[in-house]
Amino acid sequence: MSERTLFGTDGVRGMANTYPMTAEAVLRLGMAAGRYFRRDGSNGHRVVIGKDTRLSGYMVENALTAGLTSTGMNVLLLGPVPTPAVGYLTHSMRADLGVMISASHNPFRDNGIKFFGPDGFKLSDEAEAEIEALVAGDIVLAQPENIGRATRVDDSRMRYVEYTKTTFPRSLRLSGLKIVVDCANGAAYRAAPEVLWELGAEVIKIGVSPNGLNINDRVGSTAPQAAIEAVKAHGADLGICLDGDADRVVLVDETGTVADGDQLMALLASRWAAAGRLADGTLVATVMSNLGLERFLSGRGLKLVRTKVGDRYVVEEMRRSGWNLGGEQSGHIVMADYSTTGDGLMAGLQFLAAMVETGKRASDLARMFDPCPQLLKNVRYAAGADPLSQPGVQAAIAAAEGTLNGHGRLLIRKSGTEPLIRVMAEAEDPEILDRVVDSVVEAVEAVAG
């Protein structure tokens, strides 16, 4: 397999108008992807393209469209829709390829491109490597009579809205519940409130006024304070905080307390297991999920399988073994019975179904276990630097592991989307936790450039 340098853990990502997110680079990426998915040279191949609300989305969408049509692909433009809608519609519309233009929870200056295969699942590392190889080589373009067409799909959002409602039990309604939904000024700014309202809830909307520059700006799953304040001010029963492309969620209970993806996965796993729905009694999560989640599941005779960070690796493990529930602490919740990727809105609906069925408050369901103290710090490093290979950093890591000595976990990794070293540790003793994380952080900072 060729080495992947253009693709990270979740597609291609970077600052807009800076490589690889320039119009020229995206044009060539579109040409390469079109050639990869149109290998037989025949016409009739289709690609759907969705995007979030970033200003640069217009530029990226046009460059991708030009590249794809130049190889004979017919492009169906979905407009602003959540990432999971692209996965769903790629498969539903019998497309050969799906593309989501988004940098997820990042600020508006960044943008990214995620690819989905005809089955609606994100591409494998091997497929991405082959596309990279095509980017670097000579790309055969279509003959003039075989250039593709581009068409706008006006009802794409409503197709997703209607499908999403089918994942909520038909016998239940949200009548009597007051719900704050924070759409991060992103891709779900219309779809999420529509779904909740159509299911009967009283909806308080925030983060629903995108202007191209305010996506994830003090709103959304990475900045839940706005939702916390809205829940308290309106006396709401629940707050649902999505990120810019709505594939992740964090919840805010009626007291204003935030619950992350680990707590939501614990609830869903226990409920699905009790109903005989949890395949092989197994939940799939990443190495970042809290030790408390693992202990919670073990105490109920359930298993936790860990993967590398990235919801695509969670999905790959789920598909390989036939498991149907997984996700990340950050809020990607993957329910294979319903979706091919993380879907924040669908996950929020599953939590609401639990509230309606049990009659319990959000605070009773959103704290399934006491998390083991966990500390995560990020260190930014300069281009070309490789801090983790430096002897001083390696020595600091070894010393930190010796300090924990089996009484906690230490995880050091490079971010797949930003030039960051992530230093995470878990330990019952907060003083030890601070000490081991700070010692590694200081060593990395000393060589970060």
Check which CATH number belongs to the domain holding 227 and give it.
3.40.120.10
Pick the residue with more confidence: 159 or 8?
159
Q: What percent of the chain has pLDDT over 90?
A: 92
Looking at the predicted structure, is the pLDDT value of residue 326 above 70?
A: yes
Does residue 31 contact residue 63 with C-beta atoms inside 8 Å? no
Same domain as 165, residue 197? yes
Q: Is residue 3 part of a domain?
A: no
Looking at residues 312-341, what average pLDDT do you find?
A: 97
Looking at the predicted structure, is the pLDDT value of residue 281 above 60?
A: yes
Q: Is residue 47 part of a domain?
A: yes
Same domain as 338, residue 232? no
- Residue 40 pLDDT: 61
Same domain as 283, residue 200? no
Q: How many CB atoms lie within 10 A of CB 350?
A: 21
Which sign does the torsion angle of CA 196, 289, 98, 96 carry?
negative
- Residue 288 pLDDT: 92
- Residue 418 pLDDT: 80
Selecting among 104, 156, 270, 289, the annotated active-site residue is 104
Predicted TM-score of the model (pTM): 0.91
Q: Where residue 79 falls among pLDDT bands split at 50, 70, 90?
A: very high
Same domain as 226, residue 301? no
**pLDDT digits 0-9 by tens, 328-341:** 999 999 999 999 99
Residues 118-144 as b/e (b if ≥16 CB within 10 A, e otherwise) read bebbbbeeebbbbbbebbeeebeebee
Looking at residues 14-23, what average pLDDT do you find?
A: 97
Mean pLDDT of all residues in the chain? 95
Q: Where residue 39 falls among pLDDT bands split at 50, 70, 90?
A: low
Looking at residues 54-80, what average pLDDT do you find?
A: 98
Does residue 427 contact residue 404 with C-beta atoms inside 8 Å? yes
Domain span at 96: 12-154
**Considering only CA atoms, which of 425, 441, 433, 426 is closest in space to residue 387?**
441
Looking at the predicted structure, is the pLDDT value of residue 1 above 70?
A: no
- Residue 41 pLDDT: 58
Same domain as 125, residue 60? yes
Same domain as 311, residue 338? yes
Q: Is residue 4 part of a domain?
A: no
- Whether omega before 82 lies within 30 degrees of 0, making that bond cis, reads no
Residues 6+ apart with CB under 8 A from 245: 52, 82, 83, 100, 102, 104, 186, 187
Same domain as 65, residue 20? yes
Going from the C-alpha of 23 to that of each of 3, 20, 28, the distances in angstroms are 24, 9, 9
Looking at the predicted structure, is the pLDDT value of residue 405 above 90?
A: no
Q: Rounded distance, CA 257 to CA 251, Å?
A: 8
In the chain, the number of structural domains is 4
Same domain as 317, residue 246? no
Looking at the predicted structure, is the pLDDT value of residue 317 above 50?
A: yes
Looking at the predicted structure, is the pLDDT value of residue 43 above 90?
A: no
Same domain as 146, residue 27? yes
Residue 415 among the catalytic residues? no
Same domain as 23, residue 111? yes
Q: Where residue 272 falls among pLDDT bands split at 50, 70, 90?
A: very high
Same domain as 174, residue 146? no
Q: Is residue 390 part of a domain?
A: yes
Looking at residues 249-257, what average pLDDT do you find?
A: 98
Q: Where residue 189 falls among pLDDT bands split at 50, 70, 90?
A: very high
Does residue 257 contact residue 363 with C-beta atoms inside 8 Å? yes
Same domain as 315, residue 438? no
- Residue 230 pLDDT: 98
Looking at residues 188-195, what average pLDDT do you find?
A: 98
User: Which range among 186-200, 270-284, 423-437 shows the weakest confidence by mean pLDDT?
Assistant: 423-437
**pLDDT digits 0-9 by tens, 114-170:** 999 999 999 988 999 999 999 999 999 999 999 999 999 999 999 999 999 999 999
